[in-house]
Structure formats: structure tokens, C-alpha cells
A and B are shown apart, each in its own frame.
Chain A
Amino acid sequence: MTDHPMLALEHVGLRIGGARILHDVSLQVAPGEMLGVIGPNGAGKTTLFNVISGVVRPTGGVVLLDGQDVTGEPIHRRATAGLGRTFQTSSLFPALSVLENVRLAAQAHAGHAASVFRTPRRTDAATRAALDALAEVGLADRAEAGAAGLAHGEKRKVEIAMLIAMDPKVVLLDEPMAGVASGDVPAITEVIRGLHRGGRTVLMVEHHMEVVLGLVDRVAVMHHGELLAVDTPEAVMANPTVQSAYLGEAV
């Protein structure tokens, strides 16, 4: 096993104009850990994910992925280095089929051979990986359906199948339950648990407290761009600063 954290942020800050969006965020996530990130709206949770995945470059501090400094790396290179993420809004390609969506992700992981003109067949590695991933989230029978016609919960599952196909070391889930019908929540929770079970490191922003507290090892609480506390769910819930900052406002 590695002795360094799978993901580490060191004094990460982000200023846009005069506004302080993130301030001195330091965080270490161990290999195989599942971390929930909570906080009121505007606390900087999604921005934090954007800094980790490379959408936004921090104005201060360092991001380490599996011991490597990736602070200056572009998005696609972080992704090939083993970082996968989902977005609050659906990240599917509506005009492609379900299988094509997932195969695209598998293709990225398999790397490009020089085979520009090679026809993808049912038997090639990327297609097989895609079909396996779809089976894992329980959508094997929807492979040929168009992505645009899926129900919302199914779209979330396809996004997770894309993550499985990419086989990332670290997964960022940005509100996986957003917009999901309550009947679908248990199934998607199970899919997330499956994603984690393979030894992957998972970070999850989620407002659905039962989901977060039932799944994660630790919770990070953000408020006004700062990290208030990082601890076990029980300890965080008992923390008076957290209660006044977050839970107090939520009620």
C-alpha cells in the first residue's frame, strides 16, 4: 500500500477579483476512504471539486494526486492519472446511445492506440469494459437506448457506469442524488457503495444527509470557503461550531 494520502490539498486558496472563494483549505484523503463534503449553499464545495479536477486553477496552494503534484496539470491529464468526477447537472451526451456514452469513457481509460480507423466491435476491450460497467449498475438491458430518453435516476446510473469504465483511483461525486426521485435513492446508494468497494477513494458533495452519514468514513464541513472540520460523522454532528454554522442555518 501507499504511505502517502491518495489525495491531498495543501493550503489551497482561490481568489477571483477581490472575492475569497476558497481560503487555506488543507485536506488529506487516505486510499480507499469515502469522504463526504457538506456545507451550506455557496460554501465552496463545488469550487473545491473544480480545483481538484482542474476546471479551476487555485491562486494558492498545491493539489497532490497519489503523491504527484497536479496543480498545473490540465483536466484530461488528471483524468488519465486516475481522477474521475460527476457533475451536478447531467454530464451525458444526449445524442449518443447509453453504450456509446460508457464506451467513450472506457476508450479514454484504454488510451489511444494509433488505430484511428479501427471499428469498435462488440468484442473489443472498450466495448466489453463498457458492457461490464453497465451490468454493474444494473442497466445492461438499456445499452442500445438513446441517452436523451433515460429517466433521471437512470442517467445518474449511466454517469456512474462511465466512472466505473474509466476505472479511476479517485472519484468526485457532485450531488449524485440531486433531482433523483426518492424511490431511486437506495438503488443509487448501492451503486455508489459498489464504486467504493473496489478500493476506490470517493469524495462526495451531497445535501441528502441520510445518504452522506450512511456511506462515508469522514465528513468535511465547509463554510464561507473554509474547512470548518473534518471528522467522523458522529463527531462532526456533535461539533458546536458546525452546528451553529451549518445545521443552524439549515433548519
Chain B
Amino acid sequence: MSTLLLLIITGLGLGALYFLVASGLSLIYGLMGVLNFAHGSFLTISAFLGWEVGRRVSDGTWAGLAISAVVGMLVGAVVAAATEYLLIRRLYERHIEQALVTVGLALASVALFEGIWGTDPIYTQKPEWLGQTTEILGAKIPNDRFLLIACAALVLGGIVLFLQRTRYGLIIRAGVENRSMVTALGIDVRRSFTIVFAIGGAAAGLGGVLASVYYGYVSAHLGSVLLIFAFIVTVIGGLGSLTGAAIASVLVAVLQQFANYYLGGTGDLVVVIALAAVLLVRPRGLMGKVA
């Protein structure tokens, strides 16, 4: 029982990280049809800069972590918006070129990060409580999982409120359904594209700072690893569906934890098999719109 609970809550924590990356991927694909392979780089640069600022102000404290989180979100938003504005905007409807540019950006940025921060992981300090465990029904849960889950829930709630309650949210929801019809109404959707990139980048940036707490280090490859699973989550959840991304994040991460524990560390393999199964049985994903 306690093992079960431990696996589920740990899975939820990992799922929270996946969701922070996948939410942006899914919204960006839903609105613009862009598969953004550079999304992991948004996460990595945010993790590095968040850590650099946080440790200078107050290393290993809650205040330091909060500053890292704010810096990470800002960096993620700005870098993502700049990427959209300077690169993606010129390549609308040219999907091959978009993929090439974002893949290239991802590769180049990893090399750049290695050049600046080195190839070895840099271990980070975190508030003491996050390194401890809390006992729930006999299961010793690492406390950082609770932080991850709470942050992802806040981000999910925030994005849902934004989509439901603001005028740009309305344009984005309509644009995900039928972009050309929004244009026919006289709305220039390009501004919404930049906003969606900024939101996705901010979520990924927060994900980067939280990933450095979860793994205990920052490295140039932080984003690439999470991006793979975030893409799997996005496809399983249904490209363009935020709810789908949230559900699939949890399903994939929990499945991964169970397989790692009960099937001898085969978590990654099981996730890829699950992806193949979803693509065969339900190619549009759990909540995706009919293509």
C-alpha cells in the first residue's frame, strides 16, 4: 500500500514536470501547427539563469528559490516570444522549415550552454524541507514532489482561467478550432501566436527551475530529456488539448514509475510502447480534435 502511494505521488510529481513543458507544446501546436523542438532550450536557459540569479541572492533558501522561479518564468517567456517573433513568424505554414529551424536552435543552444556552463551537471542547493520526506499512510514521500504538483496545478489553473476569461483567451480557443475563420473576422492572430509562445515559454521556464530542484542539478541537457517525454505526453493527450496534456502527463509519469519499480526499470520502454498503442488505436490522442 505504501509503495503504491509512493509510486503514485512520485509519478504525479514527475507528471507535473512533463505538464509544464507539454502545456506550451500543445497550445503552440494547437494554434499554429508548429512542432516546437526548441521548447527544451527555453527550459534549460531558464533553469540556468534562474539558478544563477537565485544563488547570488540567497542560495538554498525559499526566497532564493522563489527568485529563481520568477527569473525562470520571465526568461522562458522572453526567449520564447523572441523565438516566435524573429524566427517562427517568417515560416508560417512551412512546417518542414519550422521543424528544421527549431531543431537547429535546440542543437545550437545545447552547444552554447555547454560552452558557458560546461558539460558536467552543476549540483544545486535547495531549501532543507524539500530534501526531506513526509510520511503519508506509511509512505515516505519526498517533499519536493508536493511543490512540483502544486506548481503544475497552479499553472494549469492559470492557463485555463486565461483561456476562459480573457479576450485573447477567446481568440486562442477559437484559433485552435479554426484559425482561418478567426482571420476572416478581422482578427490578426499573429499577436496571439506571440502570446501563446510567451505563456508556453513561461511554463517551461518554471519547469526548468523545478527540474533543477527535482534532479538536484542543472545541466545543458535538462531540457532535451524532458522534451522527449513532453512530446510523447502531447501526442498521447491529443495535440492542441490542454486538458489532454494534463491527463496524459499524469498517466505517462505514473505508468513510468510503476514500470520502473515492478518491471525492472523499463519505464521509458513502456512509455514508448504506450505511445505506439495510442497512435495505433486512437491517432488523434485522448482529447485531440478530429483531424
Query: Contact residues of A with B, CB < 8 Å?
Result: 53, 55, 74-80, 85, 91, 93-96, 100-101, 103-105, 107-109, 112, 115-120, 126, 162, 166
Chain A, residue nearest B182 (CB): A104
Contact A76 B173 (CB under 8 A): no
Contact B174 A93 (CB under 8 A): yes
CB proximity to A under 8 Å, residues B179-193: 180-189, 191
A85 CA to B181 CA, complexed, in Å: 10
Q: Give chain B's interface secondary structure class.
A: helix
Contact A94 B187 (CB under 8 A): no
Residue among B182, B187, B189 having the largest count of chain A Cβ atoms under 10 Å: B187
**Subset of 29 A-B contacts with CB under 8 Å:** A53-B184, A55-B184, A74-B183, A76-B183, A76-B185, A76-B189, A79-B186, A80-B186, A85-B184, A91-B181, A91-B184, A93-B173, A93-B181, A95-B173, A100-B173, A100-B174, A101-B174, A104-B185, A107-B171, A107-B187, A109-B186, A115-B167, A118-B166, A118-B167, A119-B166, A120-B165, A120-B166, A120-B167, A166-B185
The 3 closest A-B pairs by CB, nearest first: A79-B186, A108-B186, A80-B186
- A107 and B183 contact, Cβ closer than 8 Å, known pairs A94-B177, A95-B177: no
Q: Tell which of A76, A109, A126 touches B188, judged by Cβ atoms closer than 8 Å.
A: A76
Q: Which residues of A contact B113 (CB under 8 A)?
A: none
Q: How large is the interface on B (under 10, 10 to 19, 20 to 34, 35 or more residues)?
A: 20 to 34
Answer whether residue B266 sits at the interface, using C-beta atoms and an 8 A cutoff.
no
Chain A, residue nearest B175 (CB): A93
Q: Give chain A's interface secondary structure class.
A: helix
A166 CA to B184 CA, complexed, in Å: 11
Q: Tell which of A75, A76, A96, A166 touches B170, judged by Cβ atoms closer than 8 Å.
A: A96
Give the Cβ gap from A105 to chain B, nearest Cβ, in Å. Answer: 5
- A108 and B187 contact, Cβ closer than 8 Å, known pairs A93-B177, A93-B181, A95-B177: yes
Q: Which residues of A contact B29 (CB under 8 A)?
A: none
Q: Which residues of A contact B189 (CB under 8 A)?
A: 76
Q: Which residues of B contact A118 (CB under 8 A)?
A: 166-167
A95 CA to B173 CA, complexed, in Å: 8
Contact B185 A105 (CB under 8 A): yes
Q: Which residues of B contact A95 (CB under 8 A)?
A: 173, 177
**Given A55-B184, A105-B185, A108-B186, 20 additional A-B pairs, CB 8 A:** A75-B180, A75-B184, A76-B183, A76-B188, A79-B183, A79-B184, A79-B187, A85-B184, A91-B178, A91-B184, A93-B177, A93-B178, A93-B181, A96-B170, A104-B182, A108-B185, A118-B167, A119-B166, A120-B165, A120-B167
Chain A, residue nearest B176 (CB): A95
Answer whether residue B168 sits at the interface, using C-beta atoms and an 8 A cutoff.
yes
Q: Which residues of B contact A53 (CB under 8 A)?
A: 184
Q: Which residues of A contact B174 (CB under 8 A)?
A: 93, 96, 100-101, 104
Answer whether residue B195 sits at the interface, using C-beta atoms and an 8 A cutoff.
yes
A10 CA to B173 CA, complexed, in Å: 38
Q: Which residues of B contact A93 (CB under 8 A)?
A: 173-174, 177-178, 181
Q: Which residues of A contact B170 (CB under 8 A)?
A: 96, 100, 103-104, 107, 120
Contact A166 B186 (CB under 8 A): yes
Contact A79 B185 (CB under 8 A): yes
Q: Which residues of B contact A109 (CB under 8 A)?
A: 186
Q: Which residues of A contact B167 (CB under 8 A)?
A: 107, 112, 115-116, 118, 120, 126
Q: Which residues of B contact A74 (CB under 8 A)?
A: 183
Q: Which residues of A contact B186 (CB under 8 A)?
A: 76-80, 108-109, 166
A94 CA to B290 CA, complexed, in Å: 13
Q: Which residues of B contact A112 (CB under 8 A)?
A: 167, 191
A116 CA to B172 CA, complexed, in Å: 12
Q: Which residues of B contact A79 (CB under 8 A)?
A: 183-187
Q: Which residues of A contact B162 (CB under 8 A)?
A: 117
A194 CA to B204 CA, complexed, in Å: 50
Q: Which residues of B contact A166 (CB under 8 A)?
A: 185-186
A140 CA to B162 CA, complexed, in Å: 26
